Amino acid sequence: MSVTTETRPVPQLLAHRIERPRTTKRWIDWVTTTDHKKIGIMYLVLTFVFFILGGVEALMMRLQLGVPNNTLITGEHYNQLLTMHGTTMIFLFVVPAMAGFGNYFAPLMIGARDMAFPRLNALSFWLLALGGVVFYATLFWHPPEAGWWSYPPLSSIRYSPSGGQDAWIFLIHLTGISSLIGAINFYVTIVNMRAPGMSWGRVPLFVWAILIYAVLLIIALPVVAAAVTMLLADRHFGTHWFDPAAHGSPVLWQHLFWFFGHPEVYIIVLPGFGMISEIIPVFSGKPIFGYKAIAASTVVIAFLATLVWAHHMFASPVPTVVLGFFMLSSFLIGIPTGVKIFNWIATMWRGSLVLSAAMYFAIGMLAIFTLGGITGIFLASFPVDWQLNDTYYVVAHFHYTIIGGAVFPIFAGLYYWFPKLTGRLMNERLGKISFWVMFIGFNMTFFVQHALGLEGMPRRIYTYQPGLGWSTFNLISTIGSFILALGVLLTVINVVRSLKHGHRAGPDPWKANTLEWFTTSPPPVNNFDAVPYVRSLEPMRDIRREVERRTGVTQKTGGSEQFARV
Amino acid sequence: MLLVALGVLAGSLVIASAAFANPLVPKSGGSPNADQIQSLYKIILYMAVVVFIGVEGALLFAVIRFRRSKGAVAAQIHGNTKLEFGWTLGAALIVVAIATVTFIKLPGILNPPSSGPNGLTVASLNPPKPSTGHALVICVTGRQFIWRYTYGAGCDRASWERRLPYSYQEMVAPAYTTVRLVIQSSDVIHSWWVPKLGGKVDAVPGYTTYTWFKAPYAGSIYRGQCAELCGRQHAFMTALVKIVTPAQYIEWIDRQATAIKAANDQVAQLRYELTQMHDLSLTGIF
Instruction: Give me the pLDDT at residue B113, please.
Output: 83
Å between A326 CA and nearest CA of chain B: 11
pTM of the model: 0.91
Catalytic residue among A43, A78, A104, A148: A148
What 3-state DSSP class applies to A261? helix
By the 8 A CB rule, do A394 and A453 touch?
yes
- ω into B145 cis (within 30 of 0): yes
Check pLDDT > 60 for residue B252.
yes
Catalytic residue among A62, A340, A399, A450: A340
Instruction: Give me the pLDDT at residue A555, please.
Output: 58
Catalytic residue among A104, A213, A253, A266: A266
Strands B136-143 and B166-168: unpaired
By the 8 A CB rule, do B239 and B186 touch?
no
Strands B146-151 and B136-143: antiparallel
Spatial distance between the Cα atoms of A224 and A221, rounded to a whole number of angstroms: 5
Instruction: Give me the pLDDT at residue B72, please.
Output: 79
Question: CA-based diameter of chain B, in Å?
Answer: 105
Nearest residue in chain B measured CA to CA from A285:
B74
What sign results for the dihedral spanned by CA atoms A188, A189, A195, A197? negative
Is A114 designated active site? yes
Question: CA-based diameter of chain A, in Å?
Answer: 81
What 3-state DSSP class applies to B139? strand
A131 located within any domain:
yes
List helix spans (H) across A455-564: 471-501, 539-551
What 3-state DSSP class applies to A391? strand
Give chain A's residues under pLDDT 50: 1-13, 558-566
Of B69, B77, B227, the CB nearest to A350: B77
Spatial distance between the Cα atoms of A456 and A466, rounded to a whole number of angstroms: 13
What 3-state DSSP class applies to A105? helix
Domain count, chain A: 1
How is chain B split among helix, strand and coil, in percent rounded to 5?
45, 20, 35
pLDDT in tens, B127-161: 444 444 557 889 999 999 999 999 876 677 666 66
pLDDT in tens, B16-45: 544 445 788 999 989 999 999 999 999 999
A1 located within any domain:
no
Q: How many CB pairs under 8 A join A and B?
A: 278
Instruction: Give me the pLDDT at residue B39, please.
Output: 93
Spatial distance between the Cα atoms of B55 and B49, rounded to a whole number of angstroms: 10
Contacts of A351 in chain B (CB under 8 A): 62, 66, 74-75
A138 located within any domain:
yes
A2 located within any domain:
no
Instruction: Give me the pLDDT at residue B273, please.
Output: 84
- Domain that includes residue A151, residue range: 34-563
DSSP 8-state class, residue B219? S
Mutate to test the interface with A, among B77, B192, B196, B222 (most CBs of A within 10 A): B77
What does residue B282 show for φ and ψ, rounded to 5 degrees? -65, -35
Å between A406 CA and nearest CA of chain B: 19
Chain A residues 43-72 with CB within 8 Å of chain B: none
ipTM attached to this prediction: 0.89
CB contact under 8 A, A287 and B202: no
Is A178 designated active site? yes
List helix spans (H) across B111-216: 157-161
Instruction: Write the CB contacts of B255 (distance below 8 Å, at least 6 apart in sequence).
Output: none
Q: Which of A299, A128, A338, A92 is nearest to A214 (CA)?
A: A299
Phi-psi region of B143 (alpha: psi -120 to 50; beta: other; left: phi over 0): beta
CA A328 to chain CA centroid, Å, is 26
Is A262 designated active site? yes
Of A285, A341, A385, the CB nearest to B55: A341
CA distance readout (Å), A253 to A149, A151, A262, A313: 9, 7, 14, 11
A16 located within any domain:
no
DSSP 8-state class, residue A94? I
More confident residue, A356 or B70: A356
Q: Which amino acid is at A81?
A: L
Following DSSP, what letter does each residue of B264-282 receive, concatenated? HHHHHHHHHHHHHHHT--S
Is the CATH code 3.60.70.12 the one for domain B136-272?
no
Instruction: Write the CB contacts of B73 (distance below 8 Å, at least 6 apart in sequence).
Output: A352
CB contact under 8 A, B110 and A320: yes
Q: Which of A551, A562, A511 is nearest to A11 (CA)?
A: A562
Contact status of A429 with chain B (Cβ, < 8 Å): no
A347 located within any domain:
yes
Spatial distance between the Cα atoms of A178 and A181, rounded to a whole number of angstroms: 5
What does residue A242 show for φ and ψ, rounded to 5 degrees? -115, 15
A153 located within any domain:
yes
Spatial distance between the Cα atoms of A497 and B14, rounded to a whole number of angstroms: 41
DSSP 8-state class, residue B227? -
Region B255-260: mean pLDDT is 92
Chain A residues 438-457 with CB within 8 Å of chain B: 439-440, 443, 447-448, 450-452, 454-456
Q: Which amino acid is at B128?
A: P
CB contact under 8 A, B102 and A327: yes
Q: What residue segments make up the domains of chain B, in order of their start?
A: 24-64+82-110, 136-272
Spatial distance between the Cα atoms of A93 and A407, rounded to a whole number of angstroms: 10
Contacts of B79 in chain A (CB under 8 A): 289-293
CATH number of A252's domain:
1.20.210.10
- By CB neighbour count within 10 A (0-12 exposed, 13-18 middle, 19+ buried), where does B47 fall? middle
By the 8 A CB rule, do A460 and A82 touch?
yes
List helix spans (H) across B28-186: 32-65, 81-110, 157-161
Å between A556 CA and nearest CA of chain B: 15
Other beta carbons less than 10 A from residue A454's beta carbon: 26
A25 located within any domain:
no
- pLDDT-derived band of residue B114, with 50, 70 and 90 as boundaries? confident
What sign results for the dihedral spanned by CA atoms A441, A90, A163, B203? negative
Instruction: Write the CB contacts of A70 (distance below 8 Å, at least 6 apart in sequence).
Output: A63, A64, A463
Q: Which of A92, A117, A44 is nearest to A421 (CA)?
A: A44
Is A2 designated active site? no
Would you give the end-to-end CA distance of chain A in angstroms? 27
Contacts of B145 in chain A (CB under 8 A): none
Contact status of A318 with chain B (Cβ, < 8 Å): no
By the 8 A CB rule, do B151 and B164 touch?
yes
- pLDDT-derived band of residue B281, with 50, 70 and 90 as boundaries? low
Contact status of A396 with chain B (Cβ, < 8 Å): no
Contacts of A374 in chain B (CB under 8 A): 48, 51-52
Spatial distance between the Cα atoms of A443 and A481, rounded to a whole number of angstroms: 9
Strand order in the sheet with B166-168: B166-168, B146-151, B136-143, B178-185, B209-214
High-pLDDT (> 90) share of chain B, %: 60
Of B2, B202, B205, the CB nearest to A153: B205
- pLDDT-derived band of residue B8, with 50, 70 and 90 as boundaries? low
Bridge partners (DSSP) of residue B190 are B203
Chain A residues 241-260 with CB within 8 Å of chain B: 244-245, 247-251
Spatial distance between the Cα atoms of B243 and A526, rounded to a whole number of angstroms: 75
Spatial distance between the Cα atoms of A284 and A288, rounded to a whole number of angstroms: 9
